[in-house]
């Protein structure tokens, strides 16, 4: 089967013949160049084969087809080995690619998990940051409040210290009176205090305490009234500001309404002018229509046809139709009269010509003599 598939070798094909040439001359150089050229005809040339051995075997006439088949089979075996080697290399490359792909998928999965963990970490940090920021804002507000309380307490402390200084000054001022009273008590008899000292001093002390309490109440009431006055002033200022804003808004709205009023007045004036123009045109049209109606009525009276009935019951279109019919009738009558007159004049001229022909020239002469 393999031998039958080989091509048929033709002996006449020039490609299958061995081509040799005398390209190299093997000559021993034992003579001079002058004598050597003269004796070239006695030199034997050795043929040199320039083609490869495989080409010589393939192109040889006596080469067996079985040998060629074996060579082709050997070449095919080599190609099969190369193909198997390439397949093995491709398979190993595919396996390595599959391994790399699996490694890449594992790395991608790990990277995705890391990204998710990092996102969760970022979200947790964001929540922590927000909570810390809220705590910081709350602490800052508390610090501001504490600072205000400290400032208020400092002001109160300063006020109390000032009051203490005032009271110390008063105590220093009234110390002489205390000393005077103590010395006075020393000079009074011992029975004076037991008899009526309390009845004279205690009402004064109670009255002083009552007056002090009343003074504090009055001061508190005065403070409340001052606060109410300040609140009323603030409310008054707020109301004045609101009144000013409302006044400005009302003025702006008034100016807008004034501009709209002016625009409407201009539009009304233009509309009045247009109305007067339209009224003038309509008046002219009415007058023209009235003249046309009067002309139609006059024509209808002059061109009245009994078939249309009385004029009072006719409409304008009926009158115009009647006038049209009357004019057409008159035109037709005039045409007929003209035709009759033309035909009559033609007949008269014909009869005159015939009469002249019948009378002859003698009658014409006599008639002239008579004249």
DSSP 8: P
pLDDT at 316: 81
Domain that holds residue 339: 304-345
Residue by residue, DSSP assigns 190-240 as: HHHIIIIIHHHHHHHHHHHHHHHHHHHHHHHHHHHHHHHHHHHHHHHHHHH
Q: Is residue 133 part of a domain?
A: yes
Q: Is residue 83 part of a domain?
A: no
Q: Cα–Cα distances in Å, from 205 out to 15, 200, 212?
A: 159, 9, 10
For 328-332, what is the mean pLDDT?
87
User: Is 27:43 a contact under the CB 8 Å cutoff?
Assistant: yes
Decide which of 172, 190, 208 is a domain's last residue: 190
In tens, the pLDDT along 116-130 reads 888 888 888 888 888
Q: Cα–Cα distances in Å, from 156 out to 144, 150, 151, 161, 178?
A: 18, 10, 9, 8, 30
Residue by residue, DSSP assigns 69-119 as: HHHHHHHHHHHHHHHHHHHHHHHHHHHHHHHHHHHHHHHHHHHHHHHHHHH
For 187-207, what is the mean pLDDT?
65
Q: Is residue 242 part of a domain?
A: no
Decide which of 173, 190, 207 is a domain's last residue: 190
Q: Is residue 29 part of a domain?
A: no
**Mean per-residue pLDDT of the chain:** 78
Q: Is residue 170 part of a domain?
A: yes
Q: Is residue 114 part of a domain?
A: yes
User: Is 40:67 a contact under the CB 8 Å cutoff?
Assistant: no
Decide which of 165, 190, 215 is a domain's last residue: 190
Q: Is residue 293 part of a domain?
A: no
User: For residue 300, with 0-12 CB atoms within 10 Å meaning exposed, 13-18 middle and 19 or more buried, which class applies?
Assistant: buried
pLDDT at 257: 92
pLDDT at 4: 43
Number of domains observed in the structure of the chain: 2
For 306-326, what is the mean pLDDT?
83
Q: Is residue 184 part of a domain?
A: yes
Least confident of 43-47, 169-173, 320-324: 43-47
User: Is 300:319 a contact under the CB 8 Å cutoff?
Assistant: yes
Most confident of 29-43, 261-275, 346-360: 261-275
């Amino acid at each position: 089967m393999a031998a039958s598939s080989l091509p048929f070798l033709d002996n006449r094909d020039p490609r299958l013949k061995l081509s040799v040439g005398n390209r190299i001359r093997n000559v021993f150089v034992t003579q001079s160049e002058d004598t050597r050229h003269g004796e070239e005809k006695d030199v034997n040339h050795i043929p040199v084969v320039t083609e490869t051995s495989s080409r010589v075997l393939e192109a040889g006439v006596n080469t067996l087809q079985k040998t060629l088949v074996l060579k082709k089979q050997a070449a095919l075996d080599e190609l099969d080995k190369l193909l198997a080697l390439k397949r093995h290399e491709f398979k190993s490359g595919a396996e390595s690619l599959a391994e790399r792909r699996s490694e890449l998928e594992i790395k991608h999965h790990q990277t995705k998990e890391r990204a998710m963990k990092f996102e969760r970490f970022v979200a947790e940090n964001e929540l922590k940051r927000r909570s810390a920021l809220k705590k910081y804002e709350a602490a800052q507000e508390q610090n501001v409040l504490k600072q205000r309380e400290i400032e208020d307490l400092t002001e109160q402390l300063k006020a109390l210290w000032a009051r203490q200084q005032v009271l110390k000054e008063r105590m220093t001022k009234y110390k002489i009176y205390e000393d005077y009273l103590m010395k006075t008590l020393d000079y009074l008899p011992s029975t004076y205090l037991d008899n009526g000292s309390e009845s004279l001093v205690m009402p004064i002390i109670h009255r002083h305490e009552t007056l002090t309490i009343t003074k504090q109440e009055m001061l508190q009431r005065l403070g409340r009234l001052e606060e109410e006055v300040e609140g009323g002033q603030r409310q008054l200022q707020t109301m004045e500001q609101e009144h000013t804003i409302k006044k400005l808004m009302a003025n702006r709205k008034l100016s807008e309404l004034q501009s709209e009023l002016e625009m409407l007045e201009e539009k009304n004036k233009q509309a009045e002018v247009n109305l007067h123009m339209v009224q003038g045109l309509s008046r002219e049209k009415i007058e023209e229509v009235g003249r046309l109606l009067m002309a139609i009525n006059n024509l209808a009276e002059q061109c009245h046809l009994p078939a249309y009935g009385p004029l009072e019951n006719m409409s304008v279109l009926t009158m115009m139709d009647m006038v049209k019919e009357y004019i057409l009738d008159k035109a037709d009558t005039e045409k007929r009269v003209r035709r009759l007159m033309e035909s009559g004049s033609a007949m008269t001229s014909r009869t005159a010509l015939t009469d002249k022909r019948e009378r002859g020239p003698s009658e014409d002469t006599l008639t002239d003599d008579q004249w």
